[in-house]
Structure 1
Amino acid sequence: MARVSRAQAQQNRERVIDEAARLFRERGIQGVGVADLMAAAGLTHGGFYKRFASKEALVAEAVGRAFGELGERLAALDERHPGDHPAARRELLDFYFSAEHRDHAGQGCPATAFGGDLAREAPGSLAREPYAAGLSGFAGWLADRVGTKDPAADNGGHEEAADDDGDLVAVATMAGALMLARATAGTELSDRILTAARRSLDDRARGSNRGGPDGSTMRTAPPPPSAIPAGASEPDGRP
């Protein structure tokens, strides 16, 4: 048998990681065995442990690879819309909440695809660190593009309060909605979930809470404390 060059061996290893990133998202980590991975990469089963210490080690690399692919897609959005964050946001959300994305998990968002599996992993799982790093990077990109103010919040009843965790709210909304939409695929509810989540993020980006036709908020700010007679209740019923 011809000896494989070091360069070819590295290419083979990269191919296994690529296939793992796809298949784990598509079928779940427990739904894909080592033999499946190697076959998908066009390699023999016996060569797996020459390339990876364990399946757990491969999972960690696959998670990192999937988030790396996401990062490349986000960078491509910025290149197509230089300096135009609203346009980049719209293109991302158009795809993210689409039926195509919902129905093709293998090439989709790793935050959703790996989240359920990693939640069941034991503490100290090798994949937790690349998942957290990838999620943070995704949130960082969203911070300037999806809206970081909570339209339902107020600051003393006068102006909107900044939401320091608005990027995490956006990630949680997106990943959670996609997971639920996939779980209910084939039902009317699935489409409604995607539509509702998209509307919520659009409202957030506009700084309104499903406001009027001009985009202004419909929420009425409470009067300042000095305008409330002693012993009376706040407008929301709280004393």
Structure 2
Amino acid sequence: MPRITKEEKARNRQNIVEAAGRLFRAQGIDAVGIADLMKEAGLTHGGFYNHFASKDDLAAEVCNASFAASLGVLEEAVDGGDGPAGSPLRRVVDDYLSAAHRDAADGGCPSASLVTDAGRHNDTIQRSYAAGVEGYLRGFAAELAREQDGEITWRQARDRAVLLLSRLVGAMVLARAVRDVQPELSEEILRTCRAHALDY
């Protein structure tokens, strides 16, 4: 049997991480078996342990990769500066608390889709999740301080960042939880929180 190249091995690993990211977000870490995960990645079940020591190790990597991608979107919004749609944080809030994000069960920000899983799993996964949360808090605080142009202290900016992230994640978790049985309530949660997420 021919050996695969380093590039193929790296590509296979990336396929596993991307497939796991979709499945873990949509179904939760515990609900996804390795066989289903590898099938989604287009690989054989037996190859999993050539890449990861355990599903928890994979979940931690998924958390890191998902937050890196999500924080990249935040950075792009901030780099875009103020525009016709408002400040960068206004655009982030509007995008985050949208029906499109709510309905993207297998994508979007991991802060809402992996929140329950992170709390139920080992320290490795929790550390990855915590690092992502810290990334959001630093980014939000820096932008809040910039937008206030010296009118608030760093501590105040950090406190507001904690409030903002908590509002976004909480609203998204609630909106997703009731979407199918009470869509009007789901829309109300998103609409209300979009309007007031930046109120301090």
**TM-score of the two chains, using structure 1 as the length reference:** 0.73
**Once the 2 structures are TM-superposed, how far is the Cα of residue 118 of structure 1 from its aligned partner?**
1.8
Aligned counterparts, 1:2-17, within 5 A: 2-17=2-17
Corresponding residue for 1:199?
A: 195
Residue of structure 2 aligned with 1:167, choices 145, 148, 161: 161
Structure 1 residues 208-227: aligned runs within 5 Å: none
The CA distance in 1 between the partners of 2:22 and 2:55, in whole Å, is 15
In structure 2, the CA distance between the partners of 1:128 and 1:3, relative to structure 1 (3 Å rule), is: same
Equivalent of 1:126 in 107, 124, 127? 124
Distance 2:35 2:53 in 1: 15
Runs of 4+ displaced beyond 3 Å:
82-86, 144-148, 161-164
Letter in 1 for 2:6: R
CA positional deviation for 1:83: 9.7
Q: Do 1:63 and 1:131's aligned partners in 2 also have CA atoms closer than 8 Å?
A: yes
Cα deviation code 1:144-177 (max 9, x no counterpart): 44589xxxxxxxxxxxx94641111111110011
- Counterpart CA distance in 2 for 1:57 and 1:198 is 35
Kindly report which structure 2 residues correspond to 1:86-165, keeping only aligned pairs within 5 A, or say none: 86-121=86-121, 124-145=122-143, 162=156, 164-165=158-159
Inter-partner Cα distance in structure 1 for 2:144 and 2:104: 24
Q: Percent identity?
A: 37
* Residue 189, structure 1, aligned to residue 185, structure 2: yes
- Deviation, 1:41, is 1.1
Partners of 2:38 and 2:48 within 8 A in 1? yes
Uncovered stretches (5+) of structure 1, i.e. residues with no partner: 149-160, 205-239
Number of equivalenced pairs: 190
1:76 positional shift:
2.0
The 8 Å contact of residues 19 and 41 in structure 2, kept in 1 or not, is answered as yes
Alpha carbons 1:67, 1:134 under 8 Å: kept: yes
User: Which stretch has the larger CA shift, 104-113 or 137-146?
Assistant: 137-146
5+ residue gaps, structure 2: 147-154
Letter in 2 for 1:87: S
1:179 and 2:199 correspond: no
Aligned to 1:31, what secondary structure does the other structure show?
Answer: coil
Q: 1:182 to 1:192 in 2, by over 3 A?
A: same
Give the TM-score of the pair, scaled to structure 2: 0.86
More helix by share: 2
The amino acid that maps onto 1:166 is R
1:6, distance to aligned residue in structure 2 (A): 1.3
1:64 corresponds to: 64
- Coordinate RMSD, CA, aligned: 2.4
CA–CA distance in structure 1, aligned partners of residues 78 and 145 of structure 2: 16
Distance in 1 separating the partners of 2:68 and 2:157: 27
Q: CA deviation at 1:202?
A: 3.3
Aligned residues of 1:146 and 1:201 also touching (Cα < 8 A): no
Q: Which has the higher contact order (CA 8 A, sep 6+)?
A: 2
8 Å CA contact 1:147–1:167 kept in 2: the answer is no
1:193, 1:60 → 2: CA distance?
A: 30
Tell me if the contact between 1:85 and 1:144 (Cα under 8 Å) persists in the aligned partners.
Answer: no
Instruction: Give the aligned residue type for 2:111.
Output: A
